[in-house]
Structure formats: C-alpha cells, structure tokens
Amino acid sequence: MTTTQAVEGSAAHENTGAERTVFLLAHTGRPAAIRSAELVVQGLLRSGIGVRVLAEEAADLPLPPEVQRVDSEQCAAEGCELLVVLGGDGTLLRGADFARTSGVPMLGVNLGRVGFLAEAERDDLDKVVDRVVTRAYEVEERMTLDVLVRNNGSVVHTDWALNEASVEKAARERMLEVVTEVDGRPVSRFGGDGVVCATPTGSTAYAFSAGGPVVWPEVEALLMVPISAHALFAKPLVTSPRSVLAVEVQPKTPHGVLWCDGRRSVELPAGARVEVRRGAVPVRLARLHHASFTDRLVAKFALPVAGWRGAPH
C-alpha cells in the first residue's frame, strides 16, 4: 500500500442509512471560522445533508436547531460521511484525532497561514459545499506514527502522530543528551535541542523547520531530524517505512519532553526511551483537486519559479 491511495468518494463513502451526515469542526476563537461554519452549515442543510458539531463549540456558532450536538469524544464523528475542518494547522491536527479514530475522511479548509493539510481556502466555501453534496472528491490515506515510551524497561506511555513525534529539551538553558537508533542499532550520540521523527506528511512541518528534507506524500518513509545538534554527524535521515526509530534520553541529562503533533506532551525522565514506528491506523484525507504536490509546495511556500520554461514539446 502506498502512502497516498486515492479512491472515489462516491464509491467509498456512501452512507448505508437514509440520512447523510457531515461532522463539522471549527476554530471558534476566530470570527472568520464562525462565519465560515455558518455558511457551510446553511449550504449542507439546504441540500438535505445533516450536520453534527461538538456541543462545546455549538454555543459559539449560530446554528439552527436541527444541527446535532455531540460530546467531545474521539468517536464523535462515528457514522459520518465526512469530517469538514475550518481553521489553521492546529485545528486540522485536532480534526485528525477524530478522523483517525472513526475512519472518516477529513476535508480541511484553511483559515490560517500555510495549511499544508488543507484542501481548500476560505474563498472556496461554495465549491467545498458543492463537492460534498455531489460527493465529487477522492480520498487518500496518509501514514501515521505509533509512539511508545519506555522507562526502566516498562512501557509507560503510548501515543500517535500524523506529522511528527519530537523529543525535546524541557529547560531552555540546558542541552538534551540523546542517542539515536535505527532498527536496533545506534546511529549517533549528541547534545542539542532534541530530535524530530516525522512522516512524509510532517516533512513540511516541524521537521522542515529543523532542516529536514521535503518528502513527497506518496513516498513511504520515516524521517529522523536532529534539532540544533552539537555534533559532527547529526544529519537528517530518511529510513524505510518498516524501520523502528528510537531516541534514548541519556541518564545524566536533564529530563526531556515528548510532543506528538505539537498537541499532546508527556515528560521524559532521564533514561527514558522513545520508540517510533509506522502507525497501524492511517488518517484519510478528502481531496478536491488533482494538482501535483509540486504545485502545492510552490503555492504554499510562495516559491519563486519565474523563468521556468518546462520540458520541450
């Protein structure tokens, strides 16, 4: 199976029940998200599609009574045809929690800055509603990470990530001493700010800021990128998707912290070991466009391409 696997939305996501339902998640702290949510809800309801929202967000949204309110649980999207997320990267990563648990495809509308996970922009709301109504979208699967923390040989924490799992120093004034490992063999020991273990999806996020390579989403691989390492050899590594990456916090170093997608964290005592492998459950993304990742990269980062002439015909 490739990292991205497109299937027709109309064939794969038709509800067996009488009513189609879309789960809507919005960054209600942004006025733009509230207005966008109102427009999406109105468009879906007019087309006979039910809408479900989190009860905690409902109070901040101008919603008609027929909109379903549910508790903020990871299974809140269960049984829905699609998860539509309105917001920036943080909101999209929050939506990924629901998408992964339920298996429901996530369609992101970017209201932030870069928004690599998003498929549409705020000006595309009418198009988004139309594509949802007509099921004119495809779905691709994105690789995730399963993360495990050991201390004194015992598993003390498990987690997951869509973008990255990062082992970082907890104190600004002290370096974190670590040993990195790939497939049970040590690679390098160094002090620094930490290490990012990422998916191809996460290669344009934290790993990119740390100096890692951009990896096309259809490439199946894992990345290990040191953060500000004080070492002669502390280069970004690209490994097999079947590899197991490990970061060991050394015994005589200050404690560190594990961050998963920058959203969930757990303290790492000296001597802790973090193991990262390909996740057993992917996240499914709904796609509206057939644009290549190259074009997406150029657009999102506003890369200069003036002077390009293309291959001769």
Q: 174 labelled as ligand-binding?
A: yes
Q: 198 labelled as ligand-binding?
A: no
Q: 95 labelled as ligand-binding?
A: no
Q: 261 labelled as ligand-binding?
A: no
In one letter, which amino acid is 67? V
Q: 73 labelled as ligand-binding?
A: no
Q: 184 labelled as ligand-binding?
A: no
Q: 207 labelled as ligand-binding?
A: yes
Residue 4 backbone phi and psi in degrees, to 5: -115, 130
Q: 164 labelled as ligand-binding?
A: yes
Q: 264 labelled as ligand-binding?
A: no
- 280 CB-contact burial (10 Å; exposed 0-12 / middle 13-18 / buried 19+): exposed
Confirm whether 124 is a catalytic residue: no
Which residue, among 221, 262, 225, 214, has the nearest Cα to 247 in the 3D structure?
Answer: 225
Q: 89 labelled as ligand-binding?
A: yes
Which residue, among 79, 72, 31, 67, has the nearest Cα to 55 in the 3D structure?
Answer: 72
Q: 151 labelled as ligand-binding?
A: no
Query: ∠159-52-284 over CA atoms, to 5°?
Result: 45
Q: 141 labelled as ligand-binding?
A: no
Q: Which of 89, 97, 159, 261 is catalytic?
A: 89
Q: Which residues contact 169 (CB under 8 A, 6 or more apart)?
A: 175, 176, 192, 193, 194, 254, 256, 257
Cβ contact 229:265 at 8 Å: no
Within 13 Å, how many C-alpha atoms sit on residue 95's CB side?
30
Q: 183 labelled as ligand-binding?
A: no
Which residue, among 54, 161, 27, has the nearest Cα to 100 in the 3D structure?
Answer: 161
Tell me which residues are annotated as active site. 89
| Residues tagged in the binding site annotation for NAD(+) | 89-90, 94, 163-164, 174, 193, 204-209
Q: Binding-site residues, please?
A: 89-90, 94, 163-164, 174, 193, 204-209
